[in-house]
Structure formats: structure tokens, C-alpha cells
């Protein structure tokens, strides 16, 4: 059967199954909404209050998922399986986890692949911190060249 890639189904250039879950580990705040907490409560069969207390914590004016010590990174999300590096609550994960990375490429995956190619070793796990910053780029569009918002990343060896 021929597979067609449509605009609304853009191809992705990353494979989470081959990644040590940078996004679950490096971002120390995975924000949760009331809806997310409700989903967690339903998933674990506990009350909203119990889920809120057991799985989340306050960080300034945000409610975020709790974290634990990790075997690879300093810390990681409490719901990451540290052996398989997969999410243990996949169907009940918060909205932000569903959206990430919200584009066809994942910068962490690019760095991972780059390092593995460089070192000719498929088992290497670079411990990197990526800094995002906003840049303005001139585009040559029919409307005379509007500015476009793009994101760039810089790998920094930890
Ligand atoms: S860092 Fe990127 S490739 Fe790795 S698990 Fe997260 S989204 Fe997937
Ligand atoms: S809930 Fe799952 S996908 Fe989200 S940060 Fe935790 S382990 Fe990762």
C-alpha cells in the first residue's frame, strides 16, 4: 500500500523510542492544568486532591509534575520508566507532553544523532543542555519580506 504524507500529517524526523527522554528529564517543570490532574486521578483511580498532592507540586505560580533522581540525568519525571526510558502514563500524560516538540524535528534528537554519528557509537548518550532563543529572519515572500519567528538551538556539553 502506498503511503502518502499530507500537509496536515507532516513527517517527523525524530524517534522517541530511540531517545533517552531528554524532554522528560532536562525540563524541570512539566506544567499541569486541572484537566491534566483530573486525567491523572482517573488513570490511578484516586480523587483529584489525592492526584494533585501525590503527583504534582507547586513551583511559583505553576503546578508541575514531581521529579525523582535519574540514572542518566540529574533528575527526571516521576512517571518515566528509567529502564525503558518510556512514559509509564502515556495515555494519561499531561497536555504539554502530548504537544512536545510541536514541530517536525526535535533538537535533542538531532544532537543525539549527530553525536552518535560523530563518535560512530549508537550507544552514546550526550548529556546536553539546549538553549532556545528567538531570532528574526528576513524572508523573501510575495508580500515583500515579512519577518519570521524561528528558533535556534545551541548544544552545550554539560
Ligand atoms: S527529547 Fe525529543 S526525541 Fe527524545 S523523547 Fe523527547 S520528543 Fe522524543
Ligand atoms: S508524564 Fe510522561 S511524557 Fe510527560 S514528562 Fe513525564 S514521563 Fe515524560
Q: Which atom of ligand 1 is nearest to the CA of 24?
A: 6
Instruction: Kindly report, residue by residue over 127-157, the tens digit of the pLDDT.
Output: 877 776 666 655 555 544 444 444 444 544 4
How is residue 107 written as a grid cell?
A: 533538537
DSSP code for 74: S
106 C-beta closer than 6 A to ligand 1: yes
Beta bridge partners of 128: 157
CB 90 within 8 A of CB 79: no
How is residue 30 written as a grid cell?
A: 512539566
| Gap between the terminal Cα atoms of the chain | 45
Model-level pTM? 0.80
CA of 26 to the centre of ligand 2 (A): 11
β-strands 62-65, 147-157 pairing? unpaired
In the chain, domain spans: 16-157
Instruction: Kindly report, residue by residue over 29-69, the tens digit of the pLDDT.
Output: 999 999 999 999 999 999 999 999 999 999 999 999 999 99
Best mutation site among 22, 110, 112 for ligand 1 pocket (most ligand atoms within 8 Å of CB): 22
22 C-beta closer than 6 A to ligand 2: no
Beta bridge partners of 151: 134
Amino acid at each position: 500500500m502506498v503511503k502518502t504524507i499530507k500537509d496536515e500529517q507532516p513527517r517527523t524526523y525524530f524517534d522517541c523510542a530511540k531517545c533517552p527522554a531528554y524532554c522528560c528529564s532536562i525540563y524541570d517543570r512539566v506544567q499541569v492544568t486541572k484537566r491534566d490532574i483530573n486525567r491523572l486521578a482517573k488513570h490511578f483511580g484516586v480523587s483529584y486532591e489525592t492526584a494533585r498532592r501525590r503527583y504534582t507540586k507547586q513551583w511559583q505560580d505553576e503546578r508541575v509534575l514531581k521529579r525523582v533522581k535519574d540514572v542518566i540525568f540529574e533528575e527526571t519525571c516521576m512517571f518515566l520508566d528509567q529502564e525503558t526510558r518510556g512514559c509509564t502514563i502515556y495515555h494519561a500524560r499531561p497536555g504539554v507532553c502530548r504537544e512536545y516538540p510541536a514541530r517536525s524535528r526535535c533538537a535533542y534528537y538531532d544532537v543525539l544523532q549527530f553525536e552518535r554519528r560523530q563518535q560512530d557509537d549508537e550507544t552514546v548518550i550526550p548529556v546536553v543542555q539546549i538553549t532556545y532563543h528567538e531570532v528574526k529572519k528576513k524572508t523573501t515572500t510575495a508580500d515583500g519580506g515579512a519577518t519570521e519567528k524561528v528558533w535556534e538551538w545551541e548544544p552545550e556539553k554539560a
